[in-house]
Structure 1
C-alpha cells in the first residue's frame, strides 16, 4: 500500500525515498549529524504538529493544551534529571535561537561578549562578525595556540581581564579536545561575567559520561538535541534556578512564539533513550571510534589539529597533502564518505575553500561500526584525498563503502 505522501505528492515522496537510499548506502562522517531511532522519528511526525501552544505549561495563550503541557513537562523533567540541572527550557527551535536567547537574558545591545573565534573552532553565534551577535554586541575573541592547536586559558584570562566581557562562551563546533569548564568558570568569576557552555556537539557525550559535565561550573548550558544526543533537530537551555525566569522570558516572548510540540515530544523520547545504560555504552563507543580513526589517519601521514581527539570529531589539516578542503570533501562524498570542509586554526585559505575537513563518528557508531572498522575508513579517506581527479578510483572506493554501509544499516 502506498504511503500517504506518495498518494498526495509523488514528487516529494520520490525525494524522500532518494534520501533514504543516500543515507543507507553512504557513511555519514559529519560530526553534527546522526541517525535517530524509529521512536524519535515517529514522535517528530506525530499529530502533535497540529497544535499551537504559545506560552509555558499551565500558562498558555491557547486552549486545548492539557496534553501538550504534560509532554513539555515530561521533556523538562527528563532534561533536568539527565544533566543534573535545576531548570530546563526545551522550547528553542534550534541552536542559534537558543544561543541568542542567552544574549537576550543577560546582555543589552552593545555589551561585550567573549567567545571562541569561528576559524579556531567556535560558533557563528559566539560573536562572529557576520552574525547578529557580532553586530549587536561588542565581540572579543580567543583562539588556540599555534603550536598545540589547543585553548590556552592563560590567554583567555588575559583577554577577559582586558575586555571585561559580561558573557563568556566556552564550547564550539570544531573543538576536538575536552573543554575545561572549571578553568573557564574561574576566569568568568574573576571578571564578573556570565559563563555559558555551548555543548551542542558533545551533549550526548556528557549525558553518557564520556565527557565532563559543565553543570557544576556554568550559569547556562545551551545545546541542540541532535548530534551526539541523537534526538530531533531542536534545542534546550539548561540553567540554575536563579536564571530560570530570565531564560524563559528570553525564549518566549523575547524571541519566538509557539514551540514545535512534535519536536518537544521527540526530545522527550531522545532524553529517555539517553538515560538508559546502553546510551552510555554508545557515547563511549563514539569516542573510541574517533580515537581509532584519528590514529589510523595519523599513521597515513595526515595532520590532525591538536594531534588527535578526546571526543567525537577530528579536524584534519590537508595543507601537507596539497589538497583543498572543499575539493577533498567533494571527492569523499563521491566515494560515499560524507564529511564537510572546514577551516583550521590560522587558515590562510578562504572559508568557502579552506584547508581542512571535519569528520566525526556519532552516526557511524549508531550504525554499529567499531574501532577495527576505522582502519578501512582511514584507507578510503587517504585514497580519496589522493584521487580527487581520478573518478574511477573514487567510484571503486564508493563500491567498497556501499558494501560496508549495507552491512550496517541505519536504524529502521
Structure 2
C-alpha cells in the first residue's frame, strides 16, 4: 500500500505545479489534463438483503442513524476536498443499499451539504437509486425539489412470482406504481431489470421488457442475473435458464429495444437520444470519481499519478472512523503497468468504443504500451480500430471477458 499525500491548492498555479512535481519520480505519468470528476455517495442500508446482491448493503432492523450518517458524509467530503481542490463536479450518484429510505429532510440536508462544499456544474446530472417498495409520491416530489434530477429505479421484474424469488420487498403492482410516480415527477429516469431469472421463460422475459418499454423510460438497464460469490444464491443456487435460453433472451432484448428507438450503447445499458447515463459514462471512459460513505470507492487523478481509495465498509466502522479522521481503509497508486488493463476493462464495455487519443488523456501513457494486445485482438476479430475509433466487434462483445483479459499485464 502506497501512502498518499494530498496536493493542497493555494492561490498561485506555480505553487500547485511545485507540489505536483514534488511527487514526480521515475516512470511517473504525464497527464496533460485531468478527466471529468463525479461524486458517488453510498447509502448502506436496505429493507431486506436480496439473495443475489453482493453490494455493500445491510438490512435495517431497528431503524438507521440518519442524522449521524449525514453528519459523517459531510465530514468525509470535507476531509477529501484537498484531493479535488478547484475541480468542478459534473455528475452525482446516490446509490446503495436503498437511498430512498432517507427522509425528505435528510436528502435535502445531503444535497445542501454537497452544493455548499462542491462546485457543481450548472447542468450536473444528479441521480438517486430508488426501490419501488419505498415510493411515496410526496417524498419523491420533495426529492425533486431538493435537486435530484434523475432516478434509477430497481424494478428487476414486473412478474410477482419472480419478484418473490428475488427477495424484493415490492410486488408487480408496486413496481408499476413506482414508474408512474417517477413519470409524474422526473423527466429523466432509468429502469433496472434483470433477465435469466430462476425458472424464467423466454415469454416471461419478453413480457417484462414489453411492459418496461411501454412506460417509455428514457433509459433502461437490463442485466443478466449472475450468481455472485458470497451471496445466498451462490450458496443455494436456484434453477436458472441455460446458456441457449439466456442467449435467446439477449437477442430478444436487442430486437425489442432497437425497434423502440433505444441505442444499445454499453453492455447492459440502453438509452434514448441524449439520455445516456452520464455518471456511468464517466466510469466507462476512465474518468475520476470521489466516493464518500461506507465502502465507497474513489479514483482520483493528479498530473503524475492516479490514486484509488476505499472507505470502511461496515456502517458502524465507517461512522467510528470518520470521527477519528481515518475513514479511508485502503489507498494506493495505480501501477503504471496496470493502467492499460484498467482503462480497457472499462472502455471496452462501450459498444461504440472510444477515440484513440482518449487512452493517452486518461492514462498518461501512449497507445504503443498496449499495441501488442491491440494487434492480437484485431487479428482474432475481437476488435476494430482506425484513426478515429477503437471498439469491440460483435464477436468481441460476445466474448468481452476474453477481450478484456488480453490487456491484462
TM-score by length of 2: 0.24
Q: Name the structure with the higher helix share.
A: 1
Q: Which has the higher strand share?
A: 2
The TM-score normalised by the length of structure 1 is: 0.24
